[in-house]
Structures are given as C-alpha cells and as structure tokens.
Amino acid sequence: MPFELDEEAMRKLLLAGRIAAEARDYGARLVEAGRRASEVCGEVERFIVEKGARPAFPCNISINEVAAHYTPCLREDTVIPEGAVVKVDVGVHVDGYIADTAATVDLSESNQRLLEASREALKAVEGILRPGISLYEIGKTVYTTMKRLGFKPIKNLYGHTIGRYTVHAGLSIPNYPDRRMMIFRLRPPVLFAIEPFATNGAGMVTEASTTTIYSYLGRKPRIPLGPIEERLLGYIEENYKTLPFTPRWLRGLASDDEILLAVRGLTVKGALEKYPVLVEKARGLVAQFEHTFLMLKDRIIVTTRRGEEVEPKRR
C-alpha cells in the first residue's frame, strides 16, 4: 500500500468510506427525469464538503450508453431523460485517503436485470476475496456472473488499487478472465475498488469527443504559460494536487471562456491529463455498482458499506 496504514490513516479511510456511501445514496435519490446533471452533481459535492471531506473526483453522472467520466462542465450540462439508466459515481477523500463508490438508478424499471448483473457480480467478487487472490480470478468471477444473467462486462473498464491522493494506483483489476492477470495478486494491506460495468451492448467503450474532467500531472511544463494558465495551474495544484477536477470547480477565477481556453492550453502543453467521456461502443445500456475494499491480513473491510466486513477466504 503506498501509504502508512496507522491508526490515523485507518480513521480517515473509514470516514471517507462512510461519507462516500452516504453521498452515493443521496445522489441516487436525487436522480429523476427532467433534473439537470449539474443539480445532482452540485448537491452531491456540497454534501461531501458539509460532512467534512472533499470530493476525490467530480461527481460522475453517466446516462444510458455513457459508461463513465461525464460530469457537467461550465457550458456542458445534461437533462436526465425519461426512462434513463443513470450511474452515480462518487469519490471522497479525507486528507488524501480515498473512497470510490457507485450505484445505478433505472428510471424505467424495465432494466432491472441489467442492474442485477452488475450488482450480483460485485457481490460475487466479495464472496471470493482473500489475501493473495489473483486478478484473473476476480475478472473470471465478474464475467461468469454477468454471462449467467445474460449480459457482458465492459472489457476495457477496470477496478483499481487506490493510493493516497491517487484514485488509480498501479494495478488495474479486470472485469473478464484476462490470463495475463494470473501473476498479479492482491496482498494486504491494500486498498482497492471493484466496479463491474454490465452492458447489453458490445462490451467495450470508446472515447467521445467531449472532455469535462482533467487532472494535474504533477509537473509544470517547460513551455511558457500565460498569466491565466499560470494562475489556474497554481490553484489546481494547491487545491486538488493530482486528483481529478472539472473546469466548473474553477468558476470565478476568470471568465468561463478564459477558463476553458486555459484548461485546453494546459492540456496541450502537458500539464494536465484529460479524461474523455466513455461511451459503450454499440450504444448499449450500461450499469455500474462499485465498492472500495480495504484488505488486511485478518479481515476485509468494505469501506463504502458502513459497518460491514468480509472475512477472508482461506485455502
């Protein structure tokens, strides 16, 4: 684990998980047809701050065939349509100690089996977790669970290990039986997220032309920056470090036009990484459920489901 797991770190990890679980459920309750994504995401992010934490990344609200990485931006917003399948993906950190969790809402109530495929895959992985488990076994469990229910996992979206101030910290955890992952294992202590994406489409995502989420790469470019670029980058580094952010969080630091232009410039100059919106390749519907797990030698804690633990299986 890329941070010291002392008593204070444990307290912060568990607090982040509890707040993330509350924020996820709060966001899911806000989802309704006709409501703007900006309203839902703004309320979720305010909720996190009021609870004494910070968003680890912008609240994602991904609708129907959109699988991930959509959050409303300065001029980019979406109205939730009737009968939509809506993913609410929430990240919370307390002093850099992160929890990552997601849930899906089916406004039509006709896609419950799709939601069940993701939910049951997550539950099935919980049932096999143990110290030293291979990433291959996790992927195989997700795949077989979804296949039994008549759906596919999205092969190029993964779970991941988590570090301090780092949402994706090294290992990617597949949602299908990738034999290359047989040699990679989860060894305690380790913090990680399992997020099975289920679809009735092709089982792959592609990048859309829209980007509303970025992160600082941790290094200032050698290319000279303009005054607004310099000011915004300093603000981003101080407030978000290398965690993902959205330009709407920069509102008020300059005009909307200046912010968008500066963010594009900082991306081109190599200071920022962009996270394009990800869309199911065949425009199939996508469901996602996600929990963060803390694997210790003697137990596994589901940090984003407060009060519950999973005892490790032994062979």
Q: Which sequence positions are flagged as catalytic?
A: 89, 100, 160, 168, 195, 290
Q: What are the residue ranges of helices labelled H in 174-226? A: none
Residue 191, both tokens:
């913090």
The CA-atom distances, in angstroms, between 166 and each of 21, 61, 240 are 19, 21, 11
The Cα–Cα gap between 232 and 20 comes to 28
State the pairing for strand pair 159-161/190-194: antiparallel
CB-facing half-sphere around the CA of 286: CA atoms within 13 A: 30
> What is d(CA 120, CA 117) in angstroms, rounded to the nearest whole number?
5
Give the tokens for residue 280.
Answer: 């199911």
In the chain, DSSP assigns E strands to 54-63, 66-68, 85-94, 97-106, 152-153, 159-161, 172-173, 190-194, 197-199, 205-216, 272-280, 286-288, 291-295, 300-302, 309-310
